[in-house]
């Protein structure tokens, strides 16, 4: 790897780590100190934008894989990034609807799963570029995914399904509130079914790949 490429990847991983760290801290502030934030409206304005910034940086990883700057498989990288970007877009489209009761649960789950996963992943990559792989980071990178990946997917689907869980195909919830979105519930259901097929195809591939990597990186080295 050329020095310029190495310095670029070091900078990218450091910036991505800091972005996820900022989002994680922001979420903790929202959860535990929300009443106090009334006196700090600037924070209430900034925190919601930390997630799209942190996740948006991952678009560059598709380019990294496509240009062979890193050895990540292009297919699974593109699928994972695209699914997360879609979830972030849906999250911010739906968040203005106060009746989507499942949305907050989904946001909490993806925030936990994505933040921990990415903090470990980017610190692991950063250390690797410096020629060091601390065993604790290695173990966390190839062990935490066992729980965090299914947790994240569960949160993603709570967000995706939240309108249907709330309004159903009748376009009306139990309190009589009408479906507020431009796309009808029938068309959204078709979209969700198509998305489910994509998840069924790519998630087992990614999950199996991580298990294979765990066996190679941890189990086979013992």
Angle ∠(205,207,211) on CA atoms, nearest 5: 115
Q: Is 149 a catalytic residue?
A: yes
pTM of the model: 0.90
Q: What pLDDT sits at residue 152?
A: 95
Q: Confidence band (pLDDT; 50, 70, 90) for 35?
A: low
Choose the catalytic residue: 118, 156, 167, 188. 156
Q: What pLDDT sits at residue 32?
A: 77
Choose the catalytic residue: 149, 199, 202, 207. 149
Q: Which tens digit of pLDDT belongs to each residue from 97-143?
A: 888 888 889 999 999 999 999 999 999 999 999 998 889 999 999 99
Give 37 or 31, the one with higher predicted confidence: 31
Q: Is 61 a catalytic residue?
A: no
Q: What pLDDT sits at residue 222?
A: 54
**38, pLDDT greater than 60:** no
Average pLDDT over residues 37-42: 60
Q: Which domain holds residue 42?
A: 3-221
Number of structural domains in the chain: 1
**62, pLDDT greater than 80:** yes
Q: What pLDDT sits at residue 118?
A: 97
Q: What pLDDT sits at residue 44?
A: 59
Q: CB–CB of 6/129 below 8 Å?
A: yes
Q: Confidence band (pLDDT; 50, 70, 90) for 31?
A: confident
């Amino acid at each position: 790897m050329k020095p310029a490429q190495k310095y670029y990847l070091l900078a990218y991983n450091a910036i991505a780590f800091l972005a996820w760290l900022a989002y994680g801290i922001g979420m903790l502030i929202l959860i535990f100190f929300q009443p106090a934030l009334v006196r700090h409206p600037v924070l209430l304005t900034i925190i919601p934008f930390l997630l799209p910034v942190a996740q948006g940086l991952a678009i560059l990883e598709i380019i990294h894989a496509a240009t062979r700057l890193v050895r990540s498989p292009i297919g699974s990288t593109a699928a994972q990034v695209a699914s997360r970007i879609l979830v972030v877009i849906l999250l911010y489209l739906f968040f203005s609807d106060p009746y989507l009761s499942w949305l907050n649960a989904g946001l909490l789950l993806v925030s936990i799963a994505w933040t921990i996963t990415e903090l470990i992943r980017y610190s692991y990559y950063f250390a690797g570029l410096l020629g060091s792989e601390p065993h604790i980071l290695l173990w966390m990178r190839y062990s935490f995914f066992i729980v965090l990946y299914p947790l994240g997917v569960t949160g993603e689907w709570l967000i995706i399904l939240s309108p249907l869980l709330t309004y159903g195909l009748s376009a009306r919830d139990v309190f009589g509130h009408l479906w507020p979105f431009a796309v009808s519930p029938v068309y959204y259901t078709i979209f969700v079914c198509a998305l489910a097929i994509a998840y069924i195809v790519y998630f087992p591939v990614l999950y199996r790949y991580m298990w294979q990597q765990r066996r190679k990186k941890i189990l086979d080295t013992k």
